[in-house]
Structure 1
């Protein structure tokens, strides 16, 4: 085999592994259990069961306050992270090659679930936040067997000093993506945004 062909084959194999493997983030810490909601708070669980785009890490944020974001954590393939919030309305963001957003309204004492879903991008994986609804007829439902499989196939991680340092180092790039893609989000129709809305009644 020509050495150039061999080299191309090695590069292709590396790309396949990066695209499909579950590459874990060194910045997050594995833990045994997630958070439980309190009478004064709700918990939102971001989970990423798919190994597609595994070479690209997805990071999630609370961008409810104008002009900035709260770093929630990095969600690798096969992991999930819990985030406690006060009851109310929120806007969340996920970062990959792009930035994408999801509206939410939550009630105290409930746990909500959001799918971190990878898709093909221009140069690497992009991500979306997809609400998992209580309605059994919804495309993504907490009543489905698929949801139970996602729960079994993911393990808990939490933020820590290493992840916070990563966020500080990456802040400028994240700010640029938030500002750029938020303009696109703001132009979307109310009907489009309604499909990406986590409702208060979706909690369990």
Structure 2
């Protein structure tokens, strides 16, 4: 099954190591906008961060919207990068995909608000989406002294046309990965699922 799971990010990592021939087109490019605009009144703004990945700095994680039956590739995030997305208020589900490892995060967001989510690199296990809270001593809150650096030292990126081509090419495997990620989420305790859920009250002004 693992051979059929999401391959977009894995292809990027392998191609970066190629020693001959021209490199393939990148799956991410620098974003046109380099400053953060305020969220519009009718949409919620979610900023996905990939602040550090010392073990595999060339690896890019795919961020997907899997709220509906369709599976939409939102962005490809290399290390030290971020992408900004506007979504309708209410319930959503997102997935971080890297090779055979795919993790879900549920969200319930409010219009006119800004939210942050970190793609946390777990050695040998891909990336996990972690909501940033407004308070708390855990590592994933604005009280973490590293948070300001996660925001200021990451560059804005967008997915490239190549990323969409690869996503379409591996559509069947992507859907298999989504089903496996859902099954994994259902095995978690209510406490574990709550830890991985982005809530309305997690809105952050900065």
User: Considering only aligned residues, what root-mean-square deviation do their CA atoms show, in Å?
Assistant: 2.1
Q: Is the 8 A contact 2:59 2:79 kept in 1?
A: no
Decide which structure has greater helix share.
1
Are 2:53 and 1:56 equivalent residues in the alignment? no
Tell me the distance in 1 between the aligned counterparts of 2:192 and 2:37: 31
Q: Is the 8 A contact 2:50 2:118 kept in 1?
A: yes
What is the aligned partner in structure 2 of residue 41 from structure 1?
Answer: 43
Matched positions, count: 179
SS of equivalent to 2:170: helix
Tell me the distance in 1 between the aligned counterparts of 2:91 and 2:197: 10
Q: Relative CO higher for 1 or 2, CA cutoff 8 Å, sep ≥ 6? A: 2
Cα deviation digits, residues 35-78 of structure 1 (max 9, x gap): 5310100110110011233243210111111x331211101111
Where structure 2 has 5 or more consecutive residues not aligned to the other structure, the ranges are 1-13, 18-24
Q: What TM-score results when the alignment is normalised by the length of structure 2?
A: 0.79
What is the aligned partner in structure 2 of residue 203 from structure 1?
Answer: 203
Tell me the distance in 1 between the aligned counterparts of 2:163 and 2:36: 17
What is the aligned partner in structure 1 of residue 20 from structure 2?
Answer: none
Structure with bigger gyration radius: 1
Q: Structure 1 residue 136: deviation in Å? A: 4.4
Runs of 4+ in 1 over 6 A off after TM superposition: none
Q: Is the 8 A contact 2:44 2:110 kept in 1?
A: yes
SS of equivalent to 1:47: strand
Q: Is the 8 A contact 1:43 1:112 kept in 2?
A: yes
What is the aligned partner in structure 1 of residue 94 from structure 2?
Answer: 92
Cα deviation digits, residues 132-190 of structure 1 (max 9, x gap): 00114343112432110111221001234232222212322221111122112122221
Q: What TM-score results when the alignment is normalised by the length of structure 1?
A: 0.80
